[in-house]
Structure 1
Amino acid sequence: MEDRKLTVRAVERALDILMCFTQNSELGLTEIAGMIGLHKSTVHRLMTTLEEKAFVVRDAATEKYRLGIKVWELSTHLSQSDDPAVLLLPAMERLRDRLGETVSLYLRDGKDRLRIQAVQSNQAIRRVAQVGARLPLTVGASSKVLVAFAAPADQEELLNDPDWAELVKGGSYVRQLQDIRERGYATSIEEREPGAAAVAVPIVNRNGRVAAALSVSGPVSRLSSETLNEFAPVLIEAAREMGLMIP
């Protein structure tokens, strides 16, 4: 029984290591050890195994690690029949062409949001959205949409989380969520990233559940508050059509 516990713990630690690469593309041994709270010698043993199995690659010059080819091989076998990132890509491209700005698709993952798809603007000055980026759920237009339209039990759990105490204190954030539900969209100007603005809407699937958040973002020099509000009806209609594609 003890051996089994040790084996399971080793698997958990190896998965924790791989999850570190959702935040950075290259990491050193010390960085990984600090991120998951393990001794460097323990991390080194796990990294050696992951490297042997091609889940990570070590750069001999920098002594940093990056994800290996096995991760890519696994990703190519993901089911695409009901994957929003695949199903909605053509519609996202049409929306990008219509509005001229970067279009992103987000899912909620615990207290974070995960960008699962993005179509970059073709303009010279643009906001580049990295697919796979994990961002806090406490700030930004897409975050507010995912919280505002979350199931009541999920929303209550988030708002009662100790990490959210300062955000919720005073009631202005909760009132903002109510306004977003009434309007059907959220906007943000330089909330998370200086010089960037965004508008986001929920995508509701055929079962009436919020499946994702759809956003359009770009530089504040082009996306004023007025422009964001003008974009909102276009996004709402696009999200309605996208929702019909998702089971």
Structure 2
Amino acid sequence: MSLKTLDNSLELLNYFSKETPSWGVRELAKEMGISHSIVYRTLASFEKYGFLEQDPKTKRYELGLRFLEFGQMVKEKMRLSEHVYPIMKRLAGKVEESIFLTWLDKSDGVTVEIAESTHRIKYEVSLGTRTPLYVGASCKVIMAYLSKEKQLEITREGMKAFTKNTILDEEILLSDLDEIKKKGWCYSVGEFSDAVFGLGVPLFNSQNEIIASLTISGPEYRVEEMDFEVALTHLLQEAKEIQGYLNHFSSHYK
């Protein structure tokens, strides 16, 4: 296999997302701008090894269980459930909202652990959800600690509006990121999902490089019922404990 073939194959996988979880051969070939025969062979190879599955009725392809196995392997290596989830659950009990651990992956934040609120009405996101770094507290608090060059790279790749509150002006966004970094936390409302608030703080590796964030999130209408300063204090306290584990983890798995 040539490097170009490998690049095309891996690029193909990136088209499978929460917004477009399944693709037909010709549809994907048109989207990628390459021959449908090449796309078919690539999809068939991924299906052979369990990375993709084809619906027998629609003939469309979607991600296979092999990715779930790999994801579980990574999660077990990090031992998030054993060390981090109990802290997140404790924080969820204190603030009575859902807690999210978001991991930096290139220009996105990926939800890798969730401790849900006990409220019947709550903000729900699936594990593995991928979100651009320029939107929402959990991601913007990560982006704020990236280099200015990386921030500009992200903004100039193109930004899209998820809600009417999504910041699309580069100058305003960069100013917002500077302010977030000065404060050490980020608060947002309705930037990624309407009527949802987020309060996030950064998490670093042992080299003090940004790698993740810890975020309280829930329906906007409950913010008035929440003591913001107390919630932020709890968030910072529990993030400090998680930070201790991440320092240990990252020093052993560089």
Q: 1:79 and 1:114 mapped to 2: Cα distance? A: 13
Output aligned runs, 1:70-85, within 5 Å.
70-78=66-74, 80-82=76-78, 84=80
Across the aligned residues of Structure 1 and Structure 2, the Cα RMSD in angstroms comes to 2.7
* Counterpart position of 2:252: none
| 1:85–1:180 distance in 2 versus 1, CA, 3 Å | farther
**Tell me, which stretches of 5 or more residues in structure 2 are unaligned?**
160-167, 249-254
- 2:217 maps to 1:217: yes
Report SS of the residue matched to 2:38. Answer: helix
Match of 2:152 among 150, 159, 164: 159
Report SS of the residue matched to 2:28. Answer: helix
Match of 2:37 among 38, 41, 48: 41
Deviates more, 1:38-47 or 1:130-139: 38-47
Deviates more, 1:73-82 or 1:93-102: 73-82
| 1:39–1:224 distance in 2 versus 1, CA, 3 Å | farther
Could you tell me which amino acid in structure 1 is paired with residue 97 of structure 2?
Answer: E
Output aligned runs, 1:197-236, within 5 Å.
197-224=197-224, 227-236=227-236
Match of 2:6 among 2, 11, 29: 11
* Counterpart position of 2:97: 101
Report SS of the residue matched to 1:11. Answer: helix
Shift of 1:87: 3.5
Match of 2:115 among 115, 119, 125: 119
Q: Contact conserved, 2:190 with 2:196, CA < 8 A, in 1?
A: yes
| 1:40–1:106 distance in 2 versus 1, CA, 3 Å | same
- 2:50 maps to 1:57: no
Query: Could you state the TM-score of these two structures normalised by the residue count of structure 2?
Result: 0.80
Percent identity reads 24
